[in-house]
Chain A
Amino acid sequence: MEFLGYFGGVFEPIALMLLFAGTVGGLILGATPGLSPTMAVALLIPFTFHLSPTQGLILLGAAYTSTVAGGAVSAILLKIPGAPANIATALDGNEMAKRGEGARALHLSFLASGVGGVIGVLLLIFLTPVLAQWALKFGPSHLFWIAILGVTVIGSLDSKSFVKGLLSGCIGLWLSTIGTDDIMGADRFIFVDALSGGITIIPALIGLFAIPQVLDMFAKGRVSAVIDTVHVPRYKFLDSLKELIRSFRALSIGTVIGSIIGLIPGVGGQIAGLVAYDQARNFSPQKDKFGTGHSEGVIAAESANNAMVGPSLVPLLTLSIPGSPTAAVLLGGLLIHGIFPGSDIFDKHPEVVWTFINSMLLGQILMVIFGIYTAAWAARIAKAPIPILAAGVLVLALFGSYSVGQSMGDVQIMLVLGIGMYILEKFGFSAAPLVLGLILGPIAGDYFNNGSMIAAAQDGPWVYFFTGPLNIVLIVMVVASIAYSFWTNMLRASFAKSPLEGASK
């Protein structure tokens, strides 16, 4: 119950203000079609650079939580999921909205998100210290394999082609080696002056996540800003609450599935929402109603995608392996504040970590309150014109990437990486494994160098890196993550014919 001792930090005026700002801003960004939670968190990181680590993480944590929930607004009202995590929400949510039950669907989605989110954060609170204690047994060779595992898991699971996913991870790892080597002081792969300081993580994150979305908006051309939305008549909150309690089965299925999937590195909210929706339908006596505007579909999907948020931070905080692409960006946020996730994180930074986790707990409650209150005018947020969004994100990316190191080189790298990522995405490559490679590359490199020095003094690198039960388990996990992805690639053609996958497109 150590976390209770750090609750006071959340109620400090600045922390509370940032929590409010992160929650409201996250809801608005999440509700805006075209702005992903990952991009929203990446764009916010430069602002945290000027805050203390605790304050910065409170802002990012609140934004992470509420962007996922906010994505339900456009999923329900426009049938445009604000984030991949909200794909399953759109299936029944939009049908409800078309029937004039938009407010009811929004109430249920925020309430279910809140319940799932709180349980997810409680799991984070109780599982993280346990895993951190276990991780104390790890030496440099194990930590090297864990960093590689982080890249292969995300590379394998977050991409539709496992070759391209792993290749994206390799590109990220290579990019991380650009610059001056810390130990030997030698220059590596510095082809132009802008690369002399290496690739700074934050501008790279902004470029890789924000610029492709800006270019995607440009590619749509002069599209009409008028989107076909539905009217959202008012609905009694208490009636929604009673309905949520009645839908206990869907709520618990969503929460349990979301929590489990969150713990698996790299799987993310999209899978959580779709699996929970599918299972809630299987266990429901009213299976036929799913897809026609059934509230249980919304409840299962939303409780799952928010229950995933807390557990996705468990492997991140203890092993540096993010549970989702947004958690990967959050890892970048931790690193720029000098907080290196690992087994000793609770010893070195207890106040920062516990205040951050506690703020996420309070953030879930705030998210429900603000979400319910904004439901009445949510349709307006979701109708933000694309040209303004594109121009706004471009300007924010410019200022955000410059503000971190006050370097035009960083801004130029941001743009070049962004344009490159846009092209790569069009050919099936994915930003998440590339980012993971970029973030975990220096960590893997350091452990590799440390391990090599230990190995030289012992039985050599082969014995040090490839023998011992923990090394073997981790190597098997690396191979298994690649093999699993290969297997799912083989099955993808038949899976694509299922109605859920069809909906995801």
Chain B
Amino acid sequence: MTNSRIQHVIPGALILAIALLVTYLSFTEEPAEAFLFPRIISVAFVGLAIWNFIRAAGGMAKVGRGVALQDAKNLLPGLIVMLILVFWAAKALGFYVSATIAFFTVYSIYDPAPHSSAKDWIKRAVITAVFMAVIYSLFALLLKVQTPRGMFI
């Protein structure tokens, strides 16, 4: 099996598994009246998921190139920052502090400017501060959105 085919088979199998679970729950959960509409959807869902899986396993799935290894390597640091921000830092540290750290980290990781230059670090810090000041003005002052404060703000 080629790498491309394996890449298509894995999501195809996952979607099929979800479709089968949805179908099973739709036809077994009570009260049945609450699951009438999901039942109709699940029949179409599982039918299309089977078709999609057969195409993927048979090497007929041509649309979509999958995730290239280099792309995955590139996006991993940013993805980790996102996950930490949303699942821990935003609540634990406070929205504004965690968002500032996340912005600065993402900007620094992906900025092509050299990491050895003090001038570039100052530039990143200034841009982060200006951007977060705009965000604070918009959400805290203008829209008055109450965000989790955590340890800081």
Q: Report the separation of the CA atoms of residues A186 and B87 in the bound assembly, to the nearest whole angstrom.
A: 28
B interface residues, how many (CB within 8 angstroms): 74
Q: Which residue of B lies closest to A415 (CB)?
A: B86
Check A448–B75 contact: CB distance below 8 A: no
Q: Which residue of A lies closest to B106 (CB)?
A: A391
Check A385–B139 contact: CB distance below 8 A: no
* B-chain residues with CB within 8 Å of residue A173 when the two chains form the complex: 41, 45
* A-chain residues with CB within 8 Å of residue B129 when the two chains form the complex: none
* A-chain residues with CB within 8 Å of residue B138 when the two chains form the complex: 47, 399
Check B51–A163 contact: CB distance below 8 A: yes
Check A398–B90 contact: CB distance below 8 A: yes
Q: Would you list which residues of chain B between 19 and 50 have a CB under 8 Å from chain A? A: 19, 22, 25, 29-31, 33-38, 40-42, 44-45, 48-49
Check B145–A188 contact: CB distance below 8 A: no
**CB of A241 within 8 A of chain B?**
no
**CB of B79 within 8 A of chain A?**
yes
Check A388–B34 contact: CB distance below 8 A: no
**CB of B58 within 8 A of chain A?**
no
What 0/1 readout, one digit per residue, does chain B (74-114) give for beta carbons within 8 Å of chain A?
11011100110111001100010001001110110111110
Check B147–A399 contact: CB distance below 8 A: yes
What 0/1 readout, one digit per residue, does chain B (121-140) give for beta carbons within 8 Å of chain A?
00000011001100100110
* B-chain residues with CB within 8 Å of residue A224 when the two chains form the complex: 112
Q: Which residue of A lies closest to B132 (CB)?
A: A395
Check B11–A183 contact: CB distance below 8 A: no
* B-chain residues with CB within 8 Å of residue A183 when the two chains form the complex: 33-34
Check B110–A217 contact: CB distance below 8 A: yes
**CB of A423 within 8 A of chain B?**
yes
Closest Cβ of chain A to B18, distance in Å, is 8
- Contact for B112 among A222, A399, A412, A452, CB less than 8 A: A222
Closest Cβ of chain B to A416, distance in Å, is 9
Supposing A222-B111, A391-B106 touch, asked if A427 and B7 sit within 8 A by C-beta, the answer is yes
Check A408–B36 contact: CB distance below 8 A: no
Check B55–A163 contact: CB distance below 8 A: yes
Q: Would you list which residues of chain A between 391 and 445 have a CB under 8 Å from chain B? A: 391-392, 394-396, 398-399, 402-403, 406, 408, 411-412, 414-415, 419, 423-429, 441, 444-445
Check B31–A399 contact: CB distance below 8 A: no
* A-chain residues with CB within 8 Å of residue B86 when the two chains form the complex: 398, 411-412, 414-415
Supposing A171-B45, A222-B111 touch, asked if A394 and B103 sit within 8 A by C-beta, the answer is yes
**CB of A390 within 8 A of chain B?**
yes
Most chain B CB inside 10 Å of its own CB: which residue of A214, A385, A398, A402: A398
Q: Report the separation of the CA atoms of residues A199 and B67 in the bound assembly, to the nearest whole angstrom.
A: 27
Q: Would you list which residues of chain A between 441 and 475 have a CB under 8 Å from chain B? A: 441, 444-445, 448-449, 452
* B-chain residues with CB within 8 Å of residue A411 when the two chains form the complex: 86, 90
**CB of A170 within 8 A of chain B?**
yes
Closest Cβ of chain B to A77, distance in Å, is 21
Most chain B CB inside 10 Å of its own CB: which residue of A167, A222, A395: A395
Check A167–B48 contact: CB distance below 8 A: yes
Closest Cβ of chain B to A258, distance in Å, is 27
**CB of B146 within 8 A of chain A?**
yes
Check B48–A391 contact: CB distance below 8 A: no
**CB of B143 within 8 A of chain A?**
yes
Check A452–B78 contact: CB distance below 8 A: no
* B-chain residues with CB within 8 Å of residue A164 when the two chains form the complex: 52, 63-64
Check B112–A223 contact: CB distance below 8 A: yes
Check B11–A424 contact: CB distance below 8 A: yes
Instruction: Given A391-B110, A449-B37, output 15 extra A-B contacts at Cβ < 8 Å.
Output: A166-B48, A174-B41, A177-B37, A211-B82, A387-B107, A388-B107, A391-B104, A391-B107, A395-B99, A395-B135, A402-B90, A423-B11, A427-B63, A428-B64, A448-B40
Nearest 10 A/B pairs, CB to CB:
A428-B64, A428-B63, A218-B78, A218-B75, A186-B34, A387-B110, A221-B74, A219-B71, A184-B34, A427-B64
